[in-house]
Amino acid sequence: MITFLLLSLLCHSSQDGDTGEQVVLHCGPKNLKLKLLKSCDQTLEATWEDDPSCSAVEEELVYQLLVLVGDEQVHHDLVTVTPEQIGSSHLWTWTSHVTLECDSPSVILSVRYRNYTSPRRQEGTVPGMTNCKDPEVYPRDQVFEVGSRATFCCVLPAGGTFTHMDLVGYNRSDGNITQINNQTYSLTLVLNQPSSPSGTDVICEATIQHRQTDNGATAFIGYPPDDKELQCETRDLKSVECHWTVGRDTHLLRPTGYQLVGSAYKCRPGTCWGEEDVSTGERSWKLRAHNELGTVELTDTADLMTRVHMWAPESVTAWTVNPRDVSLKWSWKVQGYKDLNITCEVNLSHAGTQKPNSGVGLDFAVLMNLIPNWSYNVTVRCRTTQHFWKWSNWSSTFNFRTKGDVPDALDVWMKMKDNEISIIWKILLEKQSHGHVLDYTVTWSKIKGTEQHNTTTVTHNHFPLRLDTTQQYVVNVTARNVNGSSSPSTIITPSSSSAGLNSSRVKASRMAGGGGGFNLSWSSSPAASCGYIVDWRPSSDHSMVTWIKVPQTNVFLKNLREGQRYSMSISACTRGAALLLETREGYVQEQRIQGDLFKALKWKQKGSDVEVSWDRISLKEQTAFIQGYVLEWSDTDGQDNNVSTDEPTSTSLTASDLKTSSYTFTVTARTALGGCCSEHLTVHVNPRTDTLIRTVVISLVAVFSLLTLVSVVCYRQWACIKQKVYPPIPRPQLTDTWLKSTGEHRLHVDPGPSEVDIAPPLLCKPGVQVNQPPPNLTPPPRSGLPSSLFRGAFQNLSYDLMMQTEDQQPPTPPLHLAQEQPGSHMTCDLTYILVPQPTSHEHLTNISDTETS
């Protein structure tokens, strides 16, 4: 290759004219020297001088340089030398994209004058690498752009054996290793990821004199600058600030440098600043960003008076503070702002950004519709109105608290259970109470009628009313704090004749929730003149009622617990009492019931049946809808049977037609999630002796009851029974009138209950008549005898009455019996009848006197 080039130069020079030929044949380079400036830059430097014969040249000379690596030309360059420079030393440098240390390059230097090339030339070779003890990796500390293709080489000491070469952080399969000569190997790969600012290492492993060793070099892989969007502005109306968007991280050890061309501005990444007259109208700025991999230039043009970026307002404070409004004021850091048309915004905590105000030198604002007795934080920012550029930063925060006021009106509702009505209202939030609520006043009266209003004061948020449920009432509730009472909140109670709010009259439909709540929707009602009221509560707790008033026919109830059954009702808001439309119940998410569900599980045998019962399961324990129960049983023979019910409120199930044996009973609750909470019970069924026992018991109870009844009746009617069965016999008594009278003799009988001593009974014999009186005995008149004593016992009884003194023994009177008459009923053998003894001595005396007379 070199021979061909030399022949070409000689042939070309032979065609030149005589004058040029003479010049070129004597002029040429001398003292060519080559060296590598910096390994990291891969820069080749060549120096040479002109041959003295070149001084005769009257025009410029052109030196040609050819760079070869091995037999391959890798670079070509021309250097022009003017007549004034002829005779001096010349310098040429070249930065290679390949690693020059890996293979010593050579340079061929020749000269051309006009169209003639001198045959005189010089060649030089870059000095070879010194022999080291360890492998050397090149290039060292080279900067590469991400995405570029790079070649690294490893030069081994004499006698060394190459093992491997790679770039840390890359797979070995990413690179291509090539042997350049006996001592040099190269690694070529695409650098597709940036290094850290401290670089990444290229490692070469080799075996030198039977020992393993490695060495390496550092490579810096990064990005050129990519800053953008330069904008210049003024803040104080006397200086300029230029800002731009800083590009991505370059990952290089040396940071990107910035310069605002044509100015003495100070710069740092993202901003440059300096003093300048801002009233000169429109002007331009140029920013240059540079690093080892490239340069970026950004430009901007503007009139700075249209780019006033104001400083934030200072010393924000309150001028006046009222319950529902406040006046703010502030000051400016730059006096020149007082001449600008300014627009300001106020950011108020709990209220957001207020409507902006505008004005020349604006330094105040009035805030309306504030919450009384409430703490606020406020900040302010401003901008120019005519030429809007940028908002200022927000000012420092100013805190203030508004004055107190009366409470807001209460949100009132009611709950009904059976015929009881409780008025309830929501506890006012702090931003609604405007101070501590002292108490609540409840006033109620009938809608119809002119009766006086009833009023009471309570400290809690509910009040039960015991009203005439057939009437409608107007109820007003107010809240009171130290500033006064709120405006009244009115609700009308329904009467018992209307549907009202009694949810027990409307069957609840089931619904499922999701997403942490219930998505309710319902049909519109023509009665809903002021919207709808939706209330909900845990089904197991009637006191925890929550409600919401909405104008539409749908609402999402959120933040509810899973596994908790909720009862919901939807009512129409009317001008009168609210009208209940629907009731619903359901779970946001049913959960499997845990724990012991069947409390006090017990059994009872009824003949050949066994009833298994349990306590009623409370709603609080039901984390899912119970759809019924199943009773399963198996005997010792392993035969299984079951009975079930779909009634969730059941508390018993009965197994029928069981034989005498031992059984294992299992009770299970059925839910949409499957059976749960099974409980077991072992039962021994006895023989069927219950019928006999029942018969005996019933008989004993019947007899005992009958005896008890008879005893009670007899005890209560004993006097009557004694009168009928064993009536008292009256004691006969002779009066002095009957004994003294010759014409009439009367026998008086004492009606008292005293007993009568009766002689041996009358002996009645057949054939003896008793209807004839005996001789010598005159019967007393019939009217003198009590009819009740003898009626029905004797008819026409005649007997001899003989009177004697106490000490006499009465003789046995002979009875002169009549002969038996045919047709007579019976014959009595009357022995005697003793006259009752006198009850007093006086009476006996009277009798004796009578006998004597």
Q: What's the chain's length in residues?
A: 853
Query: What was the pLDDT predicted at 819?
Result: 41
Of 837 and 633, the structure prediction assigns the larger pLDDT to 633
Q: Is the model's pLDDT at 102 over the cut of 70?
A: yes
Alpha helices of 576-628 — where are they, by DSSP H? Answer: none
Q: How far is CA 349 from CA 129, 353, 432, 596, in A?
A: 74, 8, 16, 52
When pLDDT is averaged across residues 101-128 and rounded to a whole number, the result is 83
Q: What is the mean pLDDT of the chain?
A: 81
Give the span between the Cα atoms of 21 and 484, in whole angstroms. 121
pLDDT in tens, 679-709: 888 888 887 655 667 777 888 898 989 888 8
Residues forming a β-bridge with 117: 112
When pLDDT is averaged across residues 188-207 and rounded to a whole number, the result is 94
Nearest Cα residue to 459 out of 431, 491, 481: 481
Query: 3-state SS string over 129-143?
Result: CCCCCCCEEECCCEE
For the chain, how many helices (H) and strands (E)?
Answer: 8, 54
pLDDT in tens, 316-333: 999 999 999 999 999 999
pLDDT in tens, 363-397: 999 999 999 999 999 999 999 998 899 999 999 99
3-state SS, residue 2: helix
Handedness of CA 227, 228, 230, 235 (dihedral sign): negative
Element (DSSP H or E) covering residue 723: helix 718-725
pLDDT in tens, 167-193: 999 988 888 999 888 888 999 999 999
When pLDDT is averaged across residues 193-222 and rounded to a whole number, the result is 93
Query: What was the pLDDT predicted at 41?
Result: 55
CA angle centred on 190, ends 189 and 191, rounded to 5° = 115
pLDDT in tens, 29-47: 999 998 877 654 578 889 9
Q: What percent of the chain has pLDDT over 70?
A: 79
Give the span between the Cα atoms of 681 and 653, in whole angstroms. 13
Query: What was the pLDDT predicted at 692?
Result: 60
3-state SS, residue 25: helix
Give the span between the Cα atoms of 519 and 512, in whole angstroms. 9
Kindly provide the b/e burial profile for residues 326-341, where b requires at least 16 CB atoms within 10 angstroms of the residue's own CB. Answer: bebebebeeeebeebe
Most distant CA pair in the chain: distance in Å?
232
Q: Are strands 609-613 and 652-655 parallel, antiparallel or unpaired?
A: antiparallel
Give the span between the Cα atoms of 463 and 442, in whole angstroms. 8
Q: Is the model's pLDDT at 623 over the cut of 70?
A: yes
Worst-scoring range by mean pLDDT, 203-217, 321-335, 811-825? Answer: 811-825
> Quick one: pLDDT band at residue 346, thresholds 50, 70, 90?
very high
Query: What was the pLDDT predicted at 503?
Result: 52
3-state SS, residue 310: coil
Handedness of CA 534, 540, 541, 542 (dihedral sign): positive
When pLDDT is averaged across residues 648-674 and rounded to a whole number, the result is 90
Element (DSSP H or E) covering residue 361: none
Give the span between the Cα atoms of 459 and 423, in whole angstroms. 13
Q: What is the pTM assigned to this prediction?
A: 0.53
Of 443 and 447, the structure prediction assigns the larger pLDDT to 443
pLDDT in tens, 726-754: 777 776 655 554 444 444 444 444 444 43
- For residue 127, the Cα-to-chain-centroid distance in whole angstroms is 80
Residues forming a β-bridge with 528: none
Of 597 and 827, the structure prediction assigns the larger pLDDT to 597
Element (DSSP H or E) covering residue 83: none
Q: Do 503 and 543 touch, CB atoms closer than 8 A?
A: no
Of 555 and 638, the structure prediction assigns the larger pLDDT to 555
Query: What was the pLDDT predicted at 716?
Result: 76
3-state SS, residue 151: strand
Q: Is the model's pLDDT at 12 over the cut of 50?
A: no
DSSP symbol at 517: B
Give the span between the Cα atoms of 372 and 434, in whole angstroms. 5
Give the span between the Cα atoms of 492 and 579, in whole angstroms. 11
Worst-scoring range by mean pLDDT, 533-547, 713-727, 799-813? Answer: 799-813
Tokens 């009872």 -> residue: 604
Query: What was the pLDDT predicted at 734?
Result: 52
> Quick one: pLDDT band at residue 807, thresholds 50, 70, 90?
very low
Q: Is the model's pLDDT at 58 over the cut of 90?
A: no
CA dihedral 33, 36, 41, 45 (to 10 degrees): 0
pLDDT in tens, 248-281: 999 999 999 999 998 889 999 999 999 988 888 8
Q: Would you call 619 exposed, middle or buried from its count of C-beta atoms within 10 A (0-12, 13-18, 19+)?
A: middle
Q: Which two tokens stand for residue 344?
A: 């300001």
Residues forming a β-bridge with 190: 149
Sheet containing strand 364-367, edge to edge, reads 314-321, 326-331, 364-367
pLDDT in tens, 483-508: 999 999 999 998 876 655 555 556 88
Q: What are phi and psi of 657, to 5 degrees?
A: 55, 55
67: left (phi over 0), alpha (psi -120 to 50) or beta: beta
The 8 Å CB, 24+ separation contacts for 541-545 are 542/415, 542/417, 545/413, 545/415, 545/424
Q: Is the model's pLDDT at 303 over the cut of 90?
A: yes
Q: Which two tokens stand for residue 594?
A: 């845990």
3-state SS, residue 52: helix
3-state SS, residue 508: coil
> Quick one: pLDDT band at residue 233, thresholds 50, 70, 90?
very high
Q: What percent of the chain has pLDDT over 90?
A: 48
3-state SS, residue 270: coil
Q: How far is CA 354 from CA 346, 749, 784, 840, 844, in A?
A: 5, 125, 129, 128, 134
Q: Are strands 142-145 and 211-222 parallel, antiparallel or unpaired?
A: parallel
Sheet containing strand 239-245, edge to edge, reads 228-233, 239-245, 271-275, 266-268
Give the span between the Cα atoms of 457 and 509, in whole angstroms. 39
Give the span between the Cα atoms of 660 and 672, in whole angstroms. 36
Q: Is the model's pLDDT at 162 over the cut of 70?
A: yes
